[in-house]
Amino acid sequence: MLKTFLGLLLSTLLVSTAFAQQTDTLKADTNILNKYRLDPPKNALPVRVRPVQVNEQLIPVELLDYKVSYWRKTIQWGLNFNQAAFTNNWSAGGISSIALGTNFDLKAEYNKTPLDFTTETNLLYGLAANKGEGSRKTNDRMFLDNKLATQITKKWYFFGSISFESQFSAGYTYTDQSGNAAPKGLLISNFMAPGYLTESIGFEYKPNKYYDIRLGTGTAKQTFLTDTALYHNIPANYGVKPGHSFYNQLAFQGVATIDKDIMKNLHLTARYALFIPYIQPLAYTTHRLDATLTAKVNRLINVSMNATLLYDKNTSPSPQATEGISMGVSYTFP
């Protein structure tokens, strides 16, 4: 029986070994197996998501320390110098001379709607000295103008103004009334002889920054003549009766001004004043035109030409004129 038992056990082992060596017939996708082998899936945990809320927050900001200025100011100062010299034996002839002229212009404007205030100061003075003749005045003017206006429409204003005009020193003519030479000079003007003070109210037309027209329907003009020595030298006596030093007139006044760069480095300044007295004939209407044309060479050097035309029967029965061309130093602030 033992042999029989051993034989059955051996047969059983052989059959088991044969079945174990048979191949698996089930097909497997190795890519999927490798994927799960290398990157096993993570456990999905619940995630709590909160909605994003945006709230407006006001951040305090300190204002910058800016100051608004309603003023516009310009100051211009100029100095002109001319000189010529000759030896005593210069065959072409000539006379040694030296001339010096200066000008000061101040313009300031305060503009805050509806008010507009402007002030202008114009000072001119010049001297020339020719050998053997001494010094003689070539230019002399003192002019101040102040105006306060309130805006009515976009281009029209109602204004009130006051202006003053005179000169710094005594003025002489070197020909007498007959046209003969007067080497020592004949006194014809002085400070406040004449001097003019003019008050005016009316309407102003100002279409732009460089051009305006004043129509002074109510104007009063006072003429001062403080030097009585002029009574014998000026036939018209500046409208002041001999023995008096003051004369008042009521009139209509028109003033037109332009202050503009007409070309690059070329500036034109002009002022025309019309004065029509109410109680005198139209022949006593006064016209005055002052114009200056300035060409800038550089920031400091310029060439200027100025001219004045005047018709005033209270100073002369015929028109008067003066002009000058100069080259010098001029500086404008700012």
pLDDT in tens, 309-320: 999 998 888 899
Residue 198 pLDDT: 96
Quick one: average pLDDT of 270-287?
Answer: 94
Phi and psi at residue 239, in whole multiples of 5°? 85, -5
Residue 278 pLDDT: 93
**Residue 143, CB half-sphere, CA atoms under 13 Å: how many?**
14
Residue 42 binned pLDDT confidence (cut-offs 50, 70, 90)? low
Residue 276 pLDDT: 95
**H or E, element range at 290:** strand 286-296
Give me 107's structure tokens. Answer: 């313009």
Residue 242 pLDDT: 81
Q: Taking a C-beta distance cutoff of 8 angstroms, is the pair 151, 113 a contact?
A: yes
pLDDT at 24 over 80: no
Residue 6 pLDDT: 58
pLDDT at 50 over 90: no
- Mean pLDDT computed over every residue of the chain: 83
pLDDT in tens, 214-260: 999 999 999 999 987 777 777 778 888 888 889 999 999 999 999 99
Reference 192, options 126, 123, 238; nearest CA is 238
Residue 58 pLDDT: 80
Write the CATH number of the domain with boundaries 97-333.
2.40.160
Phi and psi at residue 211, in whole multiples of 5°? -140, 135
pLDDT in tens, 69-127: 889 898 888 888 877 887 777 777 778 888 888 989 999 999 998 999 999 999 999 99
pLDDT at 38 over 80: no
Residue 122 pLDDT: 94
Separation CA 139–CA 168 (nearest Å)? 10
**Tokens 């200027």 label which residue?**
304
pLDDT at 25 over 80: no
Phi and psi at residue 18, in whole multiples of 5°? -65, -45
Separation CA 275–CA 196 (nearest Å)? 13
Give percent above pLDDT 70 in the chain: 82
pLDDT at 273 over 60: yes
Strands (E), 47-155: 71-84, 97-112, 115-130, 134-151
Reference 108, options 122, 92, 93, 125; nearest CA is 122
Segment among 33-37, 183-187, 244-248, 309-313 with least mean pLDDT: 33-37
DSSP alpha helices (H): ranges in the chain? 2-20, 30-38
- Domain boundaries in the chain? 97-333
Segment among 52-66, 95-109, 141-155, 267-281 with least mean pLDDT: 52-66
Torsion, Cα 106 111 114 118, to 10 degrees, reads: 0
Segment among 64-68, 80-84, 154-158, 179-183 with least mean pLDDT: 179-183
User: CB burial class (10 A; 0-12, 13-18, 19+) of residue 304?
Assistant: buried
Residue 92 pLDDT: 73
